[in-house]
Amino acid sequence: MAKVGKTAPGISDLEARLSRHQPFDSVGRRDLAAIAEATVVETYDPGELILDAFAHHSTDVYVVLTGAVSLWHNLARLDEPPDDQIGPGGVFGYSAMLVERSIGPRAVAARASEVARIDGEAATAAFVSRSGARFLARTALDWSPSPAVVTAGAGLAQDVARAAPLVLDVSATAGQAARAIDADGRGFAAVRRADGRYGLVTDASLRHGIIVEGLPQTTSVVEVLDMSAPIATVDDSPAELLLAMLDRGARFAVVHDRDATLHSVVSLRDLSLTPVGVDVSLHERLRYAPDAESLAARSRRVPDLLGRLVEGGLSASKVIAVNSTIRDAAMRRAIELVFAGHPGLSTDMFTWLSLGSSGRREAVLSSDIDCAASFVEQTDPTTIDACRRAFAEVTAVLGRAGLISDGHGATASREAFSRTTEQWRAAAREWIAAPERNEGAIMISLLVDGRPIYGDRGLSAARTLIGDLRSHRGTLRLLLEDTLAHRAKPRPTRTLLHRRASGFDIKRQAILPLVNIARWAALNAGSAELATTDRLRAAAGSAMMPDSAARNLIDVFDTLQRLRLHYQLMQYADGVDPSDTLTMQLMSPIDRSVIGEAIREIAAAQRRMANVSSFVDSEEWIGSTTS
C-alpha cells in the first residue's frame, strides 16, 4: 500500500471527486472541505487487504476512487467468493461506524485501486444530509451486529428443501390424489395448474373436500387444492418462508425455481431443522397453550425471538410482520381460552378486529392492543353485555402476556367498540356525515385500520367505509385537516445531534404523522390497503401524492420502523420496558441524523398536502385516483 496523502491530488480536486458520489453529493462546501481535509488517499495492489473490520475496530469510511474492491459481509464466509464488488464511488466501512463494533466488512483490492479513507467523525456530515439519509435507508437497513449469526439463519429456501415432491397431473381426480398421497407417505402432492404454476393438495385439503363438503371422489383435484399454501421462490430465506406459512396458517409451502418451475415443497417440519425452527415451535406453542398462564409465559419469549430473527438477517419490516403474526396467534388463543370458561357464550356470534398498529401489522414491542368486536345481527343485548365482560377477561389475559391495552381506549370490552354489524354501519354513516361530532374523525381512522383476526375473516371495515367516504367530499376535506393538524416538527440537525440527554418520542413525533398521511391518501384514492407502505403505493401518482413523494415516504417509514425496533430490542436487552421514547445519548450520530432527515421529509409532505388543499381546486384532488 502506498499513502498518497491528502495533498497529492489537492484538496479542491479531492472535493470534486467525492462530490460526484452519494452521500457526498449534497454536502455543503464547508463540510465537504472539512471531509477532504480529514481524508487520506491510499493506493492498493491487486489482492492487498484494505480493511478487516471483523478483526479490528474501525470508525473510518472508505470511498473507492479508482479500481475495484471486493467485499465480504459475513465472517463465516471469508474463504468463499466475495459477497460484493464495488467500483468508483462505492462506499464501505459505514456499518462499523453505525454500531461502533467490529462487524465487517473485509475489503480487498480486486485490482489496482485508489481508495479515500475518511475519518469517521468528519464523514458524519455526509450522512446527515438528505442524500446521506437516503443512502443509508437504501443500503444499511439490514446490517446486523452479529454477522456469524446472520449466516446461520439466512440461508435460502432451496437449502431447506428435501426430496423432490410427488407431482400429479391436473387431470387427476380427488380419489386418485388420495391414493397417490397415501402411497407416497408424505401427506401432500404438487399439482401443475393451468397457468403453469403449481398448487398443493394435502391430506387435510382432501379430507375437507370429500368428508366435510361431501365432494365425490371423481371431483377434479383442482377443486381440493390447499389454498393456504404460500408460493415461495428458491431465493427466499427460511425466515420469509416461516412468515408466509404462519401468516396463512399453512403446513406447507410450494417453492418455485427462478423460472417458475417446481423446485420443492417445504413443510414446517423441514423448517424445524433450520436455525429458525425455534420460531415455529414458539408459534405452535402459542396456538395450543393449555391455559392462560402458559400463554402468558410463552408470549413473554417473543422479544427474544424477534432479536434472534434480526440477528438471523431478516429485515426489520419482516420481523415486525412476524411480531404481528404471533400477536394474532396469542389473541386468538386468549379468546378461545376465555370463552371456554363461558359455555353459555359462543365465539360464532362475533368477529374480533385488531385496530391501530396491530390491524396494520406494524406493531412493535411497545404497541398497545387496540381491538373491536362486530356481532352478528339478532344477537340480543344481554348476550352482548356478557361477551363484553368476557372481552375484558381476554384483554386481562393478554396483559399478563405482555400485550397491554388501554382500558379507556379502543378495546372490545367497551360499548363504543362492540356493536352488531348493522350498528357499526349505522354509526359509520353518522361519522362520515358529521366527522366533527362524537369523535367521528377518530372513529373513522380507527375503523379503517381494522383487520379481522377471529371470526369472519372477510369482514373489512375499510371496504365498508370507502364507498361512502368518496361520495362525501366535505368529509374527506375535514379528515385531511385532522391529518395535517398533527404536524411533524423538524429540529435543526445540530440541535438534534447535541441534545443527547433528551428523549425523543419516535411514534408521536414521526411515525404517527406519517401513518396518518398514508391512511388519508389511501382513503382518498379508494384503496382498502391496511399497511402504511401499501397505502402509500396505492396512492402514488394521485394528485395529492406524487410518485416521488410516495417513494420517499415509504423509505422514511421503513427506516423509522427499523430504528424503532432496533432501540426497543436494546431496551429489552437492558431490562427496560420497551417504549417509543428514545434517549438521544444512546443513539449513534448517524441514527440521530437519519431521524432528523425523516422528520423533514414528513413535514415536507404535510406542507405540500396543505398547499394543494389550499390553492388547488378540490375537484382536482378530492377523491382522485392514481394515474
Any idea which residue has 489496482 for its cell? 112
Q: What are 85-116's pLDDT values in tens digits?
A: 888 888 988 766 555 555 778 899 999 999 99
Q: Do the domains 2-140 and 481-620 sit in the same CATH topology, yes or no?
A: no
Element (H, E) at 356: helix 356-359
Left, alpha or beta for 185 (phi > 0: left; psi -120 to 50: alpha)?
A: left
**Residue 135 pLDDT:** 66
CATH 3.40.50.720 at 157-273, yes or no: no
The span from the CA of 268 to the CA of 233, in Å, is 16
Amino acid at 609: M
- DSSP state, residue 251: S
Contact partners, residue 130, CB within 8 Å, separation at least 6? 26, 597, 600
**Residue 154 pLDDT:** 40
**Domain ranges for the chain:** 2-140, 157-273, 280-471, 481-620
Three-state SS for 110-154 is: CCCEEEEEECHHHHHHHHCCHHHHHHHHHHCCCCCCCHHHHHHHC
**Is the bond preceding 23 in cis, omega lying within 30 degrees of 0?**
yes
The string of DSSP letters for 557-599 reads HHHHHHHHHHHHHHHHHTTPPP-SEEEGGGS-HHHHHHHHHHH
The span from the CA of 205 to the CA of 376, in Å, is 28
**Residue 149 pLDDT:** 32
Length of the chain: 627
105 and 72 Cβ atoms separated by less than 8 Å:
yes
CATH 3.90.1150.10 at 2-140, yes or no: no
The predicted model scores a pTM of 0.65
3.40.50.10540, 3.40.50.300, 3.90.1150.10, 3.30.460.10: CATH of 280-471: 3.30.460.10
Exposure letters 17-39 (e unless 16+ CB within 10 A, then b):
bbeebbbbbbbeeebbebbbebb
Please name which of 23, 307, 240 lies closest in space to residue 137, comparing C-alpha atoms.
23
**Residue 157 pLDDT:** 58
Residue 113: phi and psi, rounded to 5, are -140, 155
**Residue 11 pLDDT:** 65
**Residue 528 pLDDT:** 83
Q: Which three cell numbers stand for residue 247?
A: 401468516
Amino acid at 541: G
pLDDT along the chain (627 residues), means of 10: 48 82 81 88 93 83 91 78 82 69 81 90 70 56 35 49 80 92 87 82 89 89 87 71 72 79 79 54 75 91 86 80 87 96 94 93 94 92 96 96 83 94 88 82 88 77 59 79 84 54 83 95 87 94 90 95 94 92 81 90 93 80 58
**Residue 158 pLDDT:** 59
Please report how many Cα atoms fall inside a 13 Å half-sphere around the Cα of residue 247, on the Cβ side.
18
Q: Which three cell numbers stand for residue 583?
A: 434517549
Please report how many Cα atoms fall inside a 13 Å half-sphere around the Cα of residue 131, on the Cβ side.
12
Q: What are 404-416's pLDDT values in tens digits?
A: 887 678 999 999 9
Rg of the Cα atoms in the chain: 27
Considering the segment(s) 481-620 as one domain, its CATH architecture is Up-down Bundle (1.20)
The span from the CA of 303 to the CA of 163, in Å, is 34
**Is the bond preceding 513 in cis, omega lying within 30 degrees of 0?**
no
613 and 597 Cβ atoms separated by less than 8 Å:
no
The span from the CA of 427 to the CA of 292, in Å, is 34
Number of helices (H) and strands (E) in the chain: give both, helices first. Answer: 27, 21
**CA 19-25-28 angle, 5° bins:** 90
**CA 19-22-25 angle, 5° bins:** 35
Other C-beta atoms lying within 10 Å of the C-beta of residue 186: 16
